[in-house]
Amino acid sequence: MTAMALHGVHHTARPTWKLKETVEFYRDKLGLKLVHAISARGWGPIQHPDFLHFFFESGRGSTIAFFYYIGHAQPEYLRAVDCFDYDAIHTAWSVETEAELVGWKDALKMKGVEVVMDVQHELIRSIYMRDPNGYLVEITFQNRPFTPLDHADAARTITAAIAMEERERSGGEKFAGIEAVWNEKANRLDTEVEWV
């Protein structure tokens, strides 16, 4: 059996209702090459409209793709809303140096693209912008690789958080905030390690 391994992103895809503006943004402003476009009759589900499905190259073999459904009005449930949980759906591209990230920020400004945030996270610095549909797009520089310690800590955090989720699901205390996770992690570390 072939080993189950993945080798990076081929594409992510979202719908667009602004064809011209989408191409102008990704190809002309961000400089991503338009590398493939499918134009087809609707097929599959009977109500599927005719469509375009097109791809912009975003480095290391990855692409960002869009669907444009011809004659299909944008449903209310797919309208971009200015809210954190909507913005959770986003694409983040890598650059290799912080200088490159700053270069992107300057270049975007020159091209009239507003950088809406520039945030130093724990081990990445990211700039954010919005595309013509209102989708959040991110460019990020990671200043150190993930280490085995990051992996182990991630497992501890998520294990503790799942325990809190399970507790609520089984009728126990509500999972109301992150403090419960931190308490749980501390409880486990208290007993796992001989500290004195």
Partner 1 sequence: MPRVYVLDVLEFKPVVDAAKTMPDVQLSGPKLGYYRIDTRGDLILNRRAMKLPPAVWYGAMTGGVSGRIAEWSMDSLRIVSKG
Q: Which residues bind partner 1 (CB under 8 A)?
A: 119-123, 144, 147, 149-150, 152-153, 157, 179, 182-190, 192-193, 195-196
CA distance 38 to 24: 18
CA distance 22 to 190: 53
Helix, strand and coil percent figures for the chain, each rounded to 5: 35, 25, 40
* Nearest residue (CB) to partner 1, 173 versus 179: 179
Paired sense of beta strands 136-142 and 91-94, if any: parallel
Residue 175 identity: F
* Sign of the alpha-carbon dihedral angle for 53, 56, 59, 64: negative
* Nearest residue (CB) to partner 1, 38 versus 116: 116
* Nearest residue (CB) to partner 1, 76 versus 122: 122
- Minimum separation from the CB atom of position 169 to partner 1 (A): 23
* Nearest residue (CB) to partner 1, 79 versus 151: 151
Q: Which residue has the tokens 């280490």?
A: 147
- Minimum separation from the CB atom of position 141 to partner 1 (A): 14
- Minimum separation from the CB atom of position 101 to partner 1 (A): 15
- Minimum separation from the CB atom of position 161 to partner 1 (A): 11
